[in-house]
Amino acid sequence: MNLVLLISGIVQIILSLLLGVLFIYAAFRVFSALTKGVDELSELKQKNTAVGILISAIFISVTFIIKSAMDPSLIVFTNTLRNPEAGLQQYLTTFGIMLSHFIVSGVLGFAAIFIALQFFILLSRDLNEMEELKRNNIAVGILMAAVVVCVALLVQPGIKTLLDALIPYPETVLRNISR
């Protein structure tokens, strides 16, 4: 049994569960606070499918973007576990790097999605998306959901590259990457 992989897998599952649920909840709360004219929680209680579709797309998109923080974070964590000389300070630093990756990816991902939605609403002046969502216009819900998912797909590689730049790779790895 590979103890390093076992511990790494357990940490990944725990972090994914805890931070995933927290980021999804935070995305819902922040989006609800920033949108004007639509009370998402009230609309969901009234079985507004259009709002449900949009909120679901936001959850999926934020999760997709946050997932890009997991790979570089786990590389750092696994390397720390494999280092027999690693002490408490190095483990705390590794944990800080992992947590910062999740936070940065979540904030940047949500900001990109929110800005894209606002920009799309600004460009499509002939359609009042928020009013249509309140009316349970499923076509508008699907349209807005598609905007959210497309933006997530487009910004995810950039966020991943940004996060990779923050990883403290050993000097030999950096020399090989730059070649």
Q: Higher confidence at residue 170 or residue 105? A: 105
Specify the pLDDT at position 168: 63
CA distance 12 to 17: 8
- Give residue 152's pLDDT: 92
DSSP 110: H
Residue of 107, 133, 108 lying closest to 120 (CA atoms): 133
Task: Kindly list the distances between the CA atom of residue 179 and the CA atoms of 173, 174, 175, 176, in Å, as whole numbers in the listed order.
Answer: 10, 9, 7, 5
- Most confident by average pLDDT, 3-12, 75-84, 94-103, 123-132: 123-132
Q: 150-169, pLDDT tens digit by residue?
A: 999 999 998 888 887 776 65
How do residues 14-48 score in pLDDT, each as one tens digit?
877 887 888 888 888 888 887 777 888 889 999 99
List, for residues 40-74, the tens digit of each pLDDT value.
888 999 999 999 999 999 999 988 888 877 777 77
pTM for this predicted structure: 0.78
* Total Cβ atoms within 10 A of residue 137: 18
